Each structure stands twice: as C-alpha cells, then as structure tokens.
Amino acid sequence: MECISDQKILESIEGQASKLEMSVYRDHLLVCPHCRQVADRYLALNRQLVKPVLYEPPLTIVRKVMATLYPDFPVYSSLLALIASSFVFLVTWIYIYFDFAHNSLVKALQLTSDSASGWLTQAIKFISTVFSLVYASFKAIHAFIAIVFKTDVSVEAITAFMLTMSLLFFFILSRFFARRLKGNRK
C-alpha cells in the first residue's frame, strides 16, 4: 500500500477523518515505519501547540483602558461614597445593636426636641428621622427575606447588605453631583 499523505495522517490523529478512513490509516501505520514516524512528529507538534507559551501582558494595559474609559474614576467619587456609606453603616449598626429605637435617652431627646428650638434640636430631629428610616428599612428587608426565603437572616448579613446598598447609592449620588459640577464649570 502507498504511503498516506501528511494531511491524511494529521486528519486521522486529530479524529477528523471518517471511521473507515481512520481504520485504513491505522492499519497502514502499523506496517509503515515512515508514516508512523510522520504521525509521531505531528502528535508531538500538537502536544506543543495545545499548551501555548504565553507572554504576560503588562499591568498598564488595564490601567490605561480604565483611565481612558473613566477619566476621573474612582478617586473622588468612590472615596466620598465610602465615607458616606461607612457613616450610615456605623450609625445603623449602633442603632440596631443597642436597640436605640426603644432607648429612653433617644425618646427623651425626641420629646425634648419637640418642645425646643434651635439648630441642636433640628439636628436631633434629623438624626432621629434618619435613624427611624434606617431602622424601618432594616425591618422591611428582614421581613422580606423571611417571607421570600423562609429563613431568618442575621443582623450582620442585613447590615452588610445595607452597607453595600448605601455604598452604591452614595456612589451614584456622588457621580451625579460630580458630573453636574463638571457641567457647570464648562
């Protein structure tokens, strides 16, 4: 039998030939040392090709792309968002942990602020309102998770969730104001 062409040998070792052709080539390879040698060479070559030697891309690529796509990202906005959300996180955590909703001191402050005036009472009212809103949203999320997933989620998990959400919220807010500021400057 005549020797098989290189292409046919390659097709057979890569499983691209038909079953009939494969069996014919296999039989030939058993009796033909030349074709067997060619097949071995291609097998060795394929082994080198399937695991390529890769160059490590420089880190500057990602940095430059991000700098082009988001020129002022993320120094100013994200820092602002982080500070704001950390504040919300801290306040929420203290409020929930110490159960300030039922704390007599807070209640007393609220009552006092109702009958008083000045910036301090306004501040107390504001903080109290923020606290109440945060506490209400905490309760709502807790109830929602309990209904949907039929499980009781820990205070820590909900607080972490609220932190993430507030981070996102403040980030979007700060981006919005940063853009407006930029627009006004232009």
Rule CB under 8 A: which residues touch other proteins?
6-7, 10, 16, 41-42, 44-46, 48-58, 60-62, 64-65, 68-69
Shortest spacing between CB 44 and other proteins, in angstroms: 7
Nearer to other proteins, 88 or 175 (CB): 175
Query: Can you list the pairs that 177-182 forms with residues at least 24 positions away whose Cβ atoms lie under 8 Å?
Result: 178/72, 178/76, 178/77
Alpha-carbon gap, residue 50 to 44, rounded angstroms: 10
Nearer to other proteins, 69 or 105 (CB): 69
**Secondary structure (DSSP) of 103-149:** -HHHHHHHHHHHH--SHHHHHHHHHHHHHHHHHHHHHHHHHHHHHHH
Shortest spacing between CB 24 and other proteins, in angstroms: 19
Shortest spacing between CB 47 and other proteins, in angstroms: 8
Alpha-carbon gap, residue 117 to 86, rounded angstroms: 30
Shortest spacing between CB 75 and other proteins, in angstroms: 20
Nearer to other proteins, 31 or 54 (CB): 54
| Helix 155-185 vs helix 119-149: crossing angle, to nearest 10 | 120
For 37, the 3-state DSSP assignment is: helix
Nearer to other proteins, 8 or 175 (CB): 8
